[in-house]
């Protein structure tokens, strides 16, 4: 590897969705015990916002914490929403943006993803921008155009930030379905995303961690994370249990 080659950081992230209250959060963190040391992946957790304070109080220093969504405005009359400054003040360092459930259940659009990405960066939150095609889009041969459109839109809000963001490729057909993309599927899509990042941000693209998400389990995590351009994983269901999440973190290769 040449001195100029930059390796993206390995990352294993858990998206708890609408699970895990404060007590469950504390119990999870007390039981989380992956191998630590040089070359081990960064561990990120995205608890529900109501459990963030418990997570901040209980998390060891090697666990980064984020929120699952933010609003693009800094403050105002937006009942039920959380702004980037509020998330930061509560101890979040990261924010999931454009998760497929936000896009497909709550109708979030590319333009909103861009505005949320920009809001996160404005306030020092690291965005983890999710992209991914539906099964119908994949069957119609539209997978790459869809994920590139989503990435391009997000980059409108990310441009100029250098490497201060992560991308998660999460094919919608693989989320919560038990249907995992093969390591080759993930490598193909993530190679396409890396190529577009290189066009847009040059050599910094090689430092952006691109995660795979969709039915990642302890048994398939190692082979997914061994695939080219898969710098880590974003885990839903299998991140709810400390032992299973510990096994996924331990399945990450040293970098
Ligand atoms: P899953 O969810 O691991 O339960 O498929 C992944 C995600 O939605 O981030």
Cα 172 to middle of ligand 1, angstroms: 9
Beta carbon of 216 within 6 Å of any ligand 1 atom: yes
- What is the extent of the structural domain holding 205? 11-22+41-70+94-241
Beta carbon of 237 within 6 Å of any ligand 1 atom: yes
CATH number for position 159: 3.20.20.70
**103, 132, 176, 239: residue to mutate for ligand 1 pocket, most atoms within 8 A of CB:** 176
At 87, which helix (H) or strand (E)? helix 84-89
Assigned domain for 32 exists? no
Cα 238 to middle of ligand 1, angstroms: 8
Predicted TM-score (pTM) of this structure: 0.95
Question: CA–CA separation, 100 vs 89, rounded Å?
Answer: 26
Cα 104 to middle of ligand 1, angstroms: 14
Assigned domain for 142 exists? yes
C-alpha dist (Å) from residue 100 to 13, 20, 55, 211: 16, 20, 24, 14
Assigned domain for 250 exists? no
- CA 214 to ligand 1: nearest atom: 5
Assigned domain for 2 exists? no
Which spans in 5-51 are helix H? 22-31
**Best CA proximity match to 70, nearest among 149, 29, 138, 127:** 127
- CA 100 to ligand 1: nearest atom: 8
DSSP secondary structure string for all residues of 186-251 = HHHHHHHHHHHHHHHHGGGGGGS-EEEESS--TTTHHHHHTSTT--EEEESGGGSSHHHHHHHHHT
Q: What is the b/e burial string over 86-117, where b = at least 16 CB atoms within 10 angstroms of the residue's CB? A: bbbeeebebbbbbbbbbbeeeebebebbbbbb
Q: Which two tokens stand for residue 27?
A: 């119990």
Q: What angle do CA 89, 92, 95 make, to 5 degrees?
A: 120
Dihedral sign (CA 144, 237, 233, 9): positive
Choice among 99, 101, 108, 137 that is catalytic: 99
Residue 1: predicted pLDDT: 36
Query: Which residue shows structure tokens 């929120």?
Result: 67
Assigned domain for 59 exists? yes
Question: CA–CA separation, 108 vs 110, rounded Å?
Answer: 7
The pLDDT averaged over each successive group of 10 residues in the chain (255 residues) is 60 98 98 95 98 98 97 98 98 97 96 96 95 96 98 89 85 90 96 96 92 97 97 98 98 95
Minimal-distance CA residue to ligand 1 atom 2: 236
Beta carbon of 170 within 6 Å of any ligand 1 atom: yes
Minimal-distance CA residue to ligand 1 atom 9: 236
Beta carbon of 112 within 6 Å of any ligand 1 atom: no
Assigned domain for 161 exists? yes
Question: CA–CA separation, 208 vs 205, rounded Å?
Answer: 5
Domain count within the chain: 1
Longest dimension (CA), the chain: 52
Residue 3: predicted pLDDT: 39
Residue 4: predicted pLDDT: 44
Q: Which two tokens stand for residue 57?
A: 């109080």
Residue 163: predicted pLDDT: 54
Sequence-distant (≥ 6) Cβ neighbours of residue 160 within 8 angstroms: none
Assigned domain for 115 exists? yes
Cα atoms in the Cβ-side hemisphere of radius 13 Å centred on 75: 4
- CA 101 to ligand 1: nearest atom: 8
Let me know if 112 is a catalytic residue: no
Let me know if 123 is a catalytic residue: no
Beta carbon of 185 within 6 Å of any ligand 1 atom: no
Minimal-distance CA residue to ligand 1 atom 7: 236
Assigned domain for 219 exists? yes
3-state secondary structure of 182: coil
């Amino acid at each position: 590897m040449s001195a100029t080659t930059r390796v993206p950081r390995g990352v294993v992230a858990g998206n708890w969705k609408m699970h895990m209250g404060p007590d469950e959060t504390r119990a999870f963190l007390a039981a989380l015990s992956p191998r630590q040391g040089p070359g081990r992946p960064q561990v990120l957790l995205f608890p529900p916002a109501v459990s963030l304070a418990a997570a901040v109080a209980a998390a060891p220093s090697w666990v980064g914490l984020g929120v699952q969504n933010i609003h693009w405005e800094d403050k105002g009359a937006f009942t039920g929403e959380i702004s980037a400054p509020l998330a930061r003040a509560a101890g979040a360092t990261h924010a999931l943006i454009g998760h497929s459930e936000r896009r497909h259940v709550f109708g979030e659009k590319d333009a909103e993803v861009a505005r949320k990405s920009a809001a996160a960066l404005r306030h020092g939150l690291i965005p983890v921008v999710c992209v991914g095609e539906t099964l119908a889009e994949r069957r119609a041969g539209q997978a790459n155009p869809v994920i590139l459109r989503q990435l391009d839109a997000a980059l409108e809000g990310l441009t100029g930030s250098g490497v201060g963001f992560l991308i998660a490729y999460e094919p919608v057909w693989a989320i919560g379905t038990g249907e995992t993309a093969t390591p080759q599927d993930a490598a193909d899509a993530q190679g396409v995303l890396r190529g577009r990042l290189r066009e847009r941000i040059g050599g910094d693209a090689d430092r952006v961690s691109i995660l795979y998400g969709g039915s990642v389990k302890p048994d398939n995590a190692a082979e997914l994370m061994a695939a080219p351009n898969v710098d880590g994983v974003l885990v839903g269901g299998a991140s709810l249990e400390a032992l299973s999440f510990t096994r996924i973190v331990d399945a990450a290769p040293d970098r």
